[in-house]
A and B are shown apart, each in its own frame.
Chain A
Amino acid sequence: MFGLAKGLKYTLKNMTRKKLTYDYPNEPLPLPDRFRGIQKFYPEKCIVCNQCANICPTDCITLTGKKHPDSSKRGKIIDTYDINFEICILCDLCTEVCPTEAIIMTNQFELAEYSRDELFKDLVWLDENDTQLRKENKA
């Protein structure tokens, strides 16, 4: 019986402690800067090097480039950029390899949709996803 009494003491002691639960979703969840959420994409920074699509372990990134409209400039600019969030595992490797930081992580993590098709995010959507951006992007 002594063991039970000791246990009860611990329980009672914890009753006076302050609450630790989060009031999500009424209040946003506090997340560290490095948190890997949905990517933000900067079309103007992209140099169409394809490194992100190559490093992606699940092959969820598809992109196409086109010739630079200003013929005096060399290189390519981005034409389409899609991430399939049905299979994206938010592993951060795409942002790690990007030489120009054209793709970075945000603290957004809410991806619930009513249809699978809506999980297929395109360039425009990824460009507009510009809240809670990650400040520190390279180690």
Chain B
Amino acid sequence: MIRTEEMLLNVGPQHPSTHGVFRLVIKIDGEMIIDAKPVIGYLHRGTEKIAENLQYTQIIPYTDRLDYLAAMTNNYVLCHAVETMMELDIPERAEYLRIITMELGRIASHLVWWGTYLLDLGATSPFLYAFREREMIINLLNEISGGRLTFNYMRVGGVKWDAPDGWIEKVKAFIPYMREQLAGYGDLVTGNEIFLNRVKGIGQYTKEEAMDYSLSGANLRCTGLAWDLRKSEPYSIYDRFSFEICTADTGDAWGRYQVRIQEIEQSLRILEQAVEQFPETGEVMGKVPKVIKPPKGEAFVRIESPRGEIGCYIASEGKKEPYRLKFRRPSFYNLQILPKLLVGQNMANLIAILGAIDIVLGEVDG
């Protein structure tokens, strides 16, 4: 009989595998985790408080900094909330540009997750491949918006820039290239026995638990629930595209991995159709009042970000500034289940479980 004693261990806040400033206080008995307490707030910048003193256009750059790996969806959720309140019509071309940029962002975000997750698990080379492809997406987005990560691209009523000459063709050319690489990723990792042993059966939960804990995105879909707001409650013009909701039925890290990889493929499908249908000409900015003042009232909208369901609540007093602005940040909700998943697990699985949830700390802390 080996004698063990309890030990308190701090993981983070400056730990590379936490993907940001996230601290986890765990109690271990030998190699087994017997208690875990996440500590967050290291990146809390008070976005919601700052926003109470800003006009709606001025808030858009701040949303870039919530989920900094997929800033386009954050841009969109704010604009969408204001547009819903004001009942604005968005020009078709702008809608297409929004969808294209958002789906590019989704692919980029999943690529970062894929690369870093495998890095967490000890595989170095996939990270480099993923970032190679991501760099191409970033260059595309940089070309259209002028920013590599903080796009500040969308505006209430449309988008800031029209697509530059030849940009749509570049996106078109990127799609088959990405498909090819995706198949390569499959060869490289998906069939790898070592990898499969690391992720199968790890961090497992049931569909009921996932719903109880308000999980969303791939974390919810990995339990077999086909729930994707793009399809279930279509916003923008997502109802014009045919694509599938990716699910897995295992509810473990392996399931989440599969869902995300399939989602890249589905995003490529949407992109393919979007660049095909892209209108030749048209405005990119709708008719909006010079000063954006949503009427008195409140609205809550939610859309599908790469990490799950991102929502935006606005309480307006009919002024230039929101009375209260609140973002439903998917990573914040998704992270709640972590202590439950960790207890009783081996130390070595900690990072595998945390990484599979796919959090961005800018979003967790808000």
Contacts and interface: CB of A to CB of B under 8 A. Distances in A.
Given A32-B142, A93-B58, A139-B285, A10 B188 contact: yes
Interface in B52-99: 54-55, 57-59, 61-62
A55 B160 contact: no
B146 A105 contact: yes
Contacts of B61: 57, 89, 91, 93
A28 B293 CA distance: 43
B305 interface: no
23 contacts: A3-B191, A3-B196, A4-B192, A4-B194, A6-B187, A7-B187, A7-B191, A11-B125, A11-B188, A33-B164, A34-B143, A55-B57, A57-B58, A57-B62, A89-B61, A92-B146, A92-B147, A92-B152, A93-B57, A93-B152, A105-B146, A139-B160, A139-B161
A89 B196 CA distance: 42
Given A91-B61, A96-B160, A3 B193 contact: yes
Contacts of B54: 57
B135 A10 contact: no
B314 interface: no
B129 interface: yes
A80 B144 CA distance: 33
Contacts of B164: 32-34
Contacts of B285: 139
Interface residues of A, number: 29
Given A2-B191, A93-B57, A10 B184 contact: yes
Chain B interface, >50% SS class:
helix
B348 interface: no
A139 B61 CA distance: 18
B186 to A, nearest CB: 9
Given A6-B191, A20-B132, A34-B143, 20 more contacts: A3-B193, A7-B188, A7-B191, A7-B192, A11-B188, A20-B135, A32-B142, A32-B143, A32-B146, A33-B164, A34-B146, A35-B142, A55-B55, A55-B57, A55-B58, A90-B147, A91-B150, A92-B146, A92-B147, A139-B285
Most chain B CB atoms below 10 A, which of A3, A90, A105: A3
B152 A31 contact: no
A40 interface: no
Interface in B138-156: 139, 142-147, 150, 152
Contact of B59 (A7, A10, A57, A90): A57
A1 interface: yes
A74 interface: no
Nearest to A9: B187
Nearest to B131: A20
A39 B182 CA distance: 39
A91 B192 contact: no
Interface string B95-129: 00000000000000000000000000000010001
Contacts, number: 78
Interface residues of B, number: 35
A89 B146 CA distance: 13
A14 interface: yes
Contacts of B264: none
A20 to B, nearest CB: 6
B192 A3 contact: yes
Contacts of B193: 1, 3-4
A4 B189 CA distance: 8
Given A10-B187, A11-B188, A55-B58, A91 B143 contact: no
Nearest to B139: A32
B26 interface: no
A101 to B, nearest CB: 15
A129 to B, nearest CB: 17
List the 7 shortest-distance A-B pairs measured between CB atoms, nearest first: A3-B191, A34-B146, A91-B61, A57-B58, A32-B143, A36-B146, A6-B187
B162 interface: yes
Most chain B CB atoms below 10 A, which of A11, A13, A57, A93: A57
Interface string B231-253: 00000000000000000000000
A49 B294 CA distance: 26
Contacts of A9: 187
B284 interface: yes
Contacts of A33: 164
Interface string A9-34: 11101100000100000000001111
